[in-house]
Amino acid sequence: MKTLTTPLCEILGITHPIIQDGMGTYNTASLAAAVSEAGGLGSASIPGMNIDPGKGASLLQKQIETIASRTSKPFAVNIPVGRISTGAMLPTSEAYLSMVIREKQNGNPGFRKLAAITTSAGFPNEYSDKIHGAGLLHIHKVGSVKHARKAVEKGVDIIIASGYEMGGHTHANPVHTMILAPQVIQAVDVPGVISGGIADGAGLAAVLAMGGAGVAMGTRFIATEENDWNENYKRMIVNAQEGSDRVITGVYGPARFLYTRAIDELKELENSGQYTESELASWKDQRMQLSMETGNVEEGLVPSGQVACAIREIVRISEFLPGMAHDAASLLKNAYSLVKQ
């Protein structure tokens, strides 16, 4: 098997330059442990933004401890940073960040192999020094060159640039991966990781050929054996066609889902004018859990990237991850043979 190593592997202590990106509100403990065990970087995901902050932080702490009990390899935690109209950080984001920093600093054994916090949505100005102070790397996810530059100025160690085709919450200004990736990679002097629409070795090879340091994926990792998603959800991904995805208002901005009846139901609720934003957000959270836990994918919401239409089988991460790196290495070798000196 051919393999690859990039600055991302060195900085994170991983074998393959492949990150499993955060997928809240789902518990990704099993998935993250499997990805890290297979040589990538798994990530814990938040249990939600509309949850009691103390309860949310305690659930996330348990998730991190569970990952640590299943792998001795490095992993990360994803924390979206929301703000209220005054500019203050959302209490949930604040609770997640302060819990992770506190437990890492206190030497909680479950946090020893936690290598990085990946922030997304907003930038955690108030916490960037504290993240480094706790001995954690700071990865920040952006959807524009401007935000990538700003984050690097503020000292982040790794940038993830995700294009509009990504699953779950996506960006308000739609810039697709193929436009965003080369620009962000050129604009920053830290390892640039690309996500949104990547599912195989070809995607990884393309990113490395552009000078990127690796890829991050969400949707591809749902259609795998080693996670807690209901089989019906996984099947919906492998059966998705071009045009199966929709962008609707998610819990905190636009979000991409596969089309199900729940999307029509949601529109009716929104148009009725009878529900507050917070009530609608809880409804969405519940319907997302319904599809993942019970497999009721018609009444449930099914967050997924557009790349679902290119995913055709449910794979085993322990084989898929090294295979993806091998495919990328072979494609890069073939591409190199085109170079004439």
**Footprint of ligand FMN (CB under 6 A):** 21-24, 45-46, 78, 80, 120, 141, 162, 165-169, 195-198, 217-220, 303-305, 307
Nearer to ligand FMN, 128 or 304 (CB): 304
* Residues paired with 293 in a beta bridge: none
Nearer to ligand FMN, 33 or 302 (CB): 302
The residue to which tokens 């009444």 are assigned: 299
Nearer to ligand FMN, 46 or 206 (CB): 46
Taking CB atoms, the residue at the shortest distance from ligand FMN is 218
Nearer to ligand FMN, 32 or 307 (CB): 307
Q: How far is the CB of 227 from ligand FMN (least distance, A)?
A: 11
Nearer to ligand FMN, 57 or 217 (CB): 217
End-to-end Cα distance, the chain:
28
Nearer to ligand FMN, 193 or 341 (CB): 193
Q: How far is the CB of 255 from ligand FMN (least distance, A)?
A: 8
Q: How far is the CB of 52 from ligand FMN (least distance, A)?
A: 17
Q: How far is the CB of 278 from ligand FMN (least distance, A)?
A: 18
Q: How far is the CB of 168 from ligand FMN (least distance, A)?
A: 3
Q: How far is the CB of 118 from ligand FMN (least distance, A)?
A: 7
Q: How far is the CB of 288 from ligand FMN (least distance, A)?
A: 7
Nearer to ligand FMN, 201 or 303 (CB): 303
